[in-house]
Structure formats: C-alpha cells, structure tokens
C-alpha cells in the first residue's frame, strides 16, 4: 500500500541521514584544517620564514668577520699596499684534465694560467683574495684561467651560453682584468656548484673579492660564481680604480 512506511524502511532512512550528517561534518572539518594550514603558512611568510624556505643567491649575506672589522680592513690594506705578492707555483697539468673539469668547463686544459699576463693591480688584488681565503677559511684557491685571447673567447662563446655569452673583446679576460678560479680538495680540483663544500667556498671568495674592490660574477643574473674582474673606464686604462671610475661591458652576464 502507498503512503505506509514499514519499520525496516524507516530504519534505513534514519541511518542514511546519520551517514549524510557524518560526511558533511568530515568535509567541514577538512575545510577548517586547510584554512588553518593556509593561515599558518601566511603567518610564516609575513614573519620572515621565506629566508628558510627560498634560496636567495642574488645577495649572499655578509659573513661575520667581514662587516666593518678593523682587523680585517687593516689586513686588506697591508696586502694591497705592501710588497708584490708572489703567485703560487704551477700545478701539474693533469689537475685540470679530470672528468669533472672536462664536463663542466671544456677546453680548460688549453686555458692560460700565466699570472704575468694579468694586469699588475688586478694580479695583486687576486693574490690577496687567494691569501685571505687560505688564512680565513683554509681553502686553497686555484687559478683556472686568466688572460684569454680573442680567438679563444670566440671559441668558448660558440660552445653556448652556459660557458660565456661574450664574444672577443667583450670580456675583461682579453685585457688581463678577469680570472676564473676553483678550489683544491685532497689534490683534486673541485668546481661543481652542486658540491656544498665548493659552493660555500665560492660565496666566501666572492665576499673577499668584493672587499678587495673586485666585481664578483655571483651577483649577476646569469651566475658565474667562479669569476672575478677589475673594472675600469677603459680596459686599456692602467690608472688605479676609484669610485665612479668603472668600465661596464655590454651586460653583467658576460665573462
């Protein structure tokens, strides 16, 4: 008969309503949890937690011993105004022929590492950076390439932008005012930026180079952590570098 609800049917309807109510409560609880998580993340963003979550190599933080330390400034002045620093002895050629070097920096075995081909002022500042890296942090820094001929510059540019974007005479290397470097660990040259030990060394060296008035490639949009240069209004200008007396290549991403 129509209109009559049997007892077993009433029980089923009641159970269905209970399940529906339970599901609605679970969905509501899930929404509340998601909102709380979102609010928590927003609070972290507003209170500065991105420093822990987001890498920012664009502006590496100054190291404690560099921030206005009188002893550090005195040491730098002594290195720059004292006697000419002597370059380290040449390393065996096979140091620059390892698999890692060949993969990351092709043709490094053909690079020029003659310190005498570098500008005198730049050489002194670069050697001072090598000295401070060893004295402060215990790193042995290695010159990978200094002077670079125009022909070699074009050769490297033809290999692709991962090495250099600069053609001949667009790089300070052609004027003995730039250098590429890496670090020696247990008799092996380590240049990979994916190596935490090497990456820490690049950042430390970059800070030291800036203390010495050099331009560090780690500040550029296209990062070149293992590159420093001394800028002048003209690459042929041998005057000491002063404030506002700076040569700018076509872009900061060229080395």
pLDDT in tens, 208-217: 999 999 999 9
pLDDT in tens, 173-196: 999 999 999 999 999 999 999 999
Q: How sure is the predictor about 240, in pLDDT bands with cuts at 50, 70 and 90?
A: very low
pLDDT in tens, 54-82: 333 444 445 545 556 888 889 999 999 99
Tokens coding 190: 């380590």
Please give the Cα distance from 136 to 128 (Å, whole number).
Answer: 12
User: Cβ atoms within 10 A of the Cβ of 247, count?
Assistant: 17
pTM attached to this predicted model: 0.69
How far is residue 222 CA from its own chain's centroid? 10
Please give the Cα distance from 164 to 13 (Å, whole number).
Answer: 75
pLDDT in tens, 84-124: 999 999 999 999 999 999 999 989 999 999 999 999 999 99
Which runs of consecutive H residues, i.e. helices, occur in the chain? 7-46, 50-53, 70-81, 99-104, 120-132, 150-158, 196-211
| Helix-helix angle 196-211:120-132, to 10 degrees | 130
pLDDT score at 96: 97
Tokens coding 229: 């240069």
Tokens coding 91: 């390393």
Express as a percent the part of the chain with pLDDT over 90.
Answer: 57
């Amino acid at each position: 008969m129509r209109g009559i609800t049997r007892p077993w049917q009433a029980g089923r309807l009641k159970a269905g309503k209970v399940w529906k109510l339970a599901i609605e409560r679970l969905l509501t609880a899930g929404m509340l949890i998601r909102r709380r998580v979102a609010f928590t993340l927003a609070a972290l963003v507003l209170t500065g937690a991105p420093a822990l979550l987001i890498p920012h190599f664009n502006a590496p933080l100054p190291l404690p011993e560099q921030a206005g330390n009188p002893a550090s400034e005195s040491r730098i002045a002594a290195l720059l105004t004292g006697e000419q620093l002597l370059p380290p002895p040449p390393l065996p050629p096979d140091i620059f022929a390892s698999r890692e070097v060949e993969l990351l920096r092709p043709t490094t075995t053909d690079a020029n590492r003659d310190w005498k081909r570098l500008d005198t002022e730049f050489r002194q500042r670069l050697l001072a950076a090598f000295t401070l890296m060893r004295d402060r942090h215990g790193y042995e820094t290695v010159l990978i390439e200094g002077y670079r001929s125009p022909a070699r510059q074009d050769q490297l540019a033809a290999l692709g932008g991962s090495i250099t974007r600069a053609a001949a005479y667009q790089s300070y290397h052609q004027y003995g005012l730039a250098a590429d470097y890496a670090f020696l660990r247990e008799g092996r040259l380590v240049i990979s930026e994916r190596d935490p030990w090497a990456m820490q060394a690049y950042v430390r060296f970059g800070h030291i180079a800036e203390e010495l008035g050099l331009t560090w490639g780690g500040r550029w949009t296209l990062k070149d952590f293992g590159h420093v240069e001394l800028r002048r209004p003209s690459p042929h200008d041998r005057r000491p570098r002063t404030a506002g007396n700076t040569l700018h290549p076509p872009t900061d991403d060229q080395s």
